[in-house]
């Protein structure tokens, strides 16, 4: 998922997206999310809708996603990866 999660959160659509990802992802699969760092300036969305890695983790964890790592991807982005642990999922 590349630079769209902040938009899904704004549109209140993240719940449905994470439900579907956790439903279709193989239990040995991984989820990778590329987002803009929570810093001012272009490129990217306004800072008030940007998500820090901790925000992404708190959004993903109720659906069984466990953070694996966070990597810097240039000066403007980071990549956060998750493993899926279905037995730990709390799907509403």
Instruction: List the domains of the chain with CATH numbers.
Output: 5-88 (3.40.50.150)
pTM (predicted TM-score): 0.91
Cα→Cα distances 11→8, 28, 49, 83, 85, Å: 5, 29, 11, 25, 26
pLDDT digits (tens, 9 = 90+) for 7-41: 999 999 999 999 999 999 987 889 999 999 999 98
Region of poorest pLDDT, from 22-26, 30-34, 47-51, 66-70? 22-26
pLDDT at 90: 55
Q: In what order do the strands lie in the sheet with 77-84?
A: 30-36, 77-84, 65-73
Instruction: State the average pLDDT over residues 42-61.
Output: 97
């Amino acid at each position: 998922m590349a630079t769209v999660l902040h938009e899904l959160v704004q549109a209140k659509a993240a719940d449905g997206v994470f439900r579907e990802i956790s439903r279709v992802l193989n239990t040995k699969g991984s989820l990778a999310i590329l987002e803009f760092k929570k810093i001012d300036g272009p490129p990217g969305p306004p800072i008030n809708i940007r998500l820090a890695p901790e925000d992404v983790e708190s959004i993903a964890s109720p659906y069984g996603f466990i953070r694996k790592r966070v990597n810097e991807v240039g000066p403007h982005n980071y990549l956060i990866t998750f493993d899926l642990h279905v037995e730990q999922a709390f799907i509403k």
